[in-house]
Amino acid sequence: MKFGIIGSGSWATALAKILTDKKHTINWWIRNAATIHYIKERNHNPHYLSSATFDVSLLNMSDSIAAIVASSDVLVIAVPSAYVEESLSSLQAENWKGKKVVSAVKGILPEKNILLNYFLKERFGIPLEDYFAVLGPCHAEEVAEEKLSYLTFSGIDITAASEIASHFTTSYISTVVNHDILGVQYAAVLKNIYALGAGIAHGLEYGDNFLSVYIANAADEMAAFLKESGAEHITVGEHEGEDPVTHRKTPNYAASVYLGDLLVTCYSLFSRNRTFGNMIGKGYSVKAAQLELNMVAEGYNAAKCINTINKTVKVNIPIAETVYKILWENVKPAEGFKRIEQVMV
């Protein structure tokens, strides 16, 4: 199984590290030829996760995305959601024939308000059976430090998802497999919105007691949206028996890819969404926060996308709605969080 990675940010670099640590030779699309030259010379990405070093003999890097796609069996798309369409714009449907696609995109395509699988089906005819998603809870920075982390691989073809996941299992990466392909993607989108809100709360100098109740209410709100979107296993403590061989409980997605990812994104200092929100809470404008962060905070566009999608889903999500209004409708953060105080239980 030949892997290709599309993107060269921190998450793409972390996934490249995992695969090469498993001694896979990977195809890696990097837009900037100067970055490719630097990695060849210095063995690390100059812009992201510079502490992660590579055996460059395992890297087939190119600034031609068509060449990378042609050379790969499985394509891992790891670019920010806002840049997906532009990154893939030179490709045609025939480029993707016989390929499997793994989404490492933690957002909704903002121009279309759709998940990546819908865009790939519409634009290139890629069937859902050949589409998978990889989620956390997992920060790229801890992958670089080889701290034990968890990845969830989701796809309606469980056998194929398990096979793909096996290539990412290392001494510091534990993997879980499920078939809830839509639920895990929406969960990844929502947790970024709530993490951004957690950052705003921190910037406004709310304490840990408030934040714990905020996250609990965000988890409840997320579960309601996921339930209406067709997600499965969203209640902590519910399991469908045990594995007949290992006798381990069957995975409950709420405990890891839903709740776990929400918690780490809201609390961790590595969370760019939390960092972005913290600046908003301290009085930065959105534009100033974006310039200061110098990385994409997926929760910013996600807040607008979910607000639009929820006009159809029609779930009561006042926390996400308030975060949207702070970011996009100029509601003052302190005023917005007074509203959130009133809806929390």
168, 198: one domain? no
Tell me the chain's radius of gyration from C-alpha atoms: 20
Terminal Cα-to-Cα distance of the chain (whole angstroms): 49
Q: Select from 158, 179, 200 the last residue of a domain.
A: 179
Sequence-distant (6+) residues with CB within 8 A of 205 are none
Task: Kindly report the three-state secondary structure assignment for every residue of 296-344.
Answer: CCHHHHHHHHHHHHHHHHCCCCHHHHHHHHHHHCCCCHHHHHHHHHHHC
162 with 194, same domain: the answer is no
Residues 167 and 196 in one domain: no
Give the span between the Cα atoms of 120 and 140, in whole angstroms. 25
Please check whether residues 230 and 332 belong to one and the same domain: yes
The predicted structure's pLDDT at residue 244: 64
Same domain, 19 and 168: yes
CA 125 remoteness from chain centre? 23
Same domain, 216 and 301: yes
317 located within any domain = yes
Per-residue pLDDT of the chain (345 residues), as tens digits, is 999 999 999 999 999 999 999 999 999 999 999 999 999 999 999 999 999 999 999 999 999 999 999 999 999 999 999 999 999 999 999 999 999 999 999 889 988 899 999 999 999 999 999 999 999 888 899 999 999 999 999 999 999 999 999 999 999 999 988 888 888 899 999 999 999 999 999 999 999 999 999 999 999 899 889 888 766 655 655 656 665 665 666 555 555 677 888 999 999 888 889 999 999 999 999 999 988 888 778 899 999 999 999 999 899 999 999 999 999 999 999 999 999 999 988
**What are the distances in angstroms from CA 133 to CA 79, 156, 194, 276?**
13, 10, 21, 25
Q: Are residues 238 and 278 in the same domain?
A: yes
Q: In this structure, is residue 135 part of a structural domain?
A: yes
Question: Do 61 and 122 share a domain, yes or no?
Answer: yes
Distance from C-alpha of 196 to C-alpha of 277, rounded to nearest angstrom: 4
User: β-strands 149-154, 100-103: how paired?
Assistant: unpaired
The H or E element containing residue 259 is helix 259-267
**pLDDT score at 270:** 87
User: 150 lies in a domain?
Assistant: yes
Residue that finishes a domain, picked among 134, 151, 179: 179
User: 3-state class of 86 per DSSP?
Assistant: helix
Alpha carbon distance 280, 286 (integer Å): 7
225 shares a domain with 144: no
Asked, for residue 236, whether it belongs to a domain, the answer is yes
Are 83 and 196 contained in the same domain? no
What is the rounded distance in angstroms from the CA atom of residue 89 to the CA atom of residue 79? 13
Closest by CA to 256, choosing from 264, 247, 266, is: 264
Domain that holds residue 107: 3-179
> What is the Cα–Cα distance from 310 to 317, expressed in whole angstroms?
9
- Whether 105 and 139 share a structural domain: yes
CATH number at residue 218: 1.10.1040.10
Dump strand ranges (E) for 194-280. Answer: none
Total count of domains within the chain: 2
One-letter amino acid for residue 250 of the chain: T
Could you tell me where the DSSP H helices lie in 92-131?
116-124
Is the residue at 175 inside a domain? yes
Residue 242 has what pLDDT?
A: 66
Is residue 109 domain-shared with residue 167, that is, in the same domain? yes
Q: What is the CATH number of the domain that holds 170?
A: 3.40.50.720
Distance CA 43, CA 10 (A): 15
Is residue 184 a part of any domain in this protein?
Answer: no
Q: Residue 301: what pLDDT?
A: 92
Listed residues 153, 179, 205: the one ending a domain? 179
Beta bridge partners of 59: 26
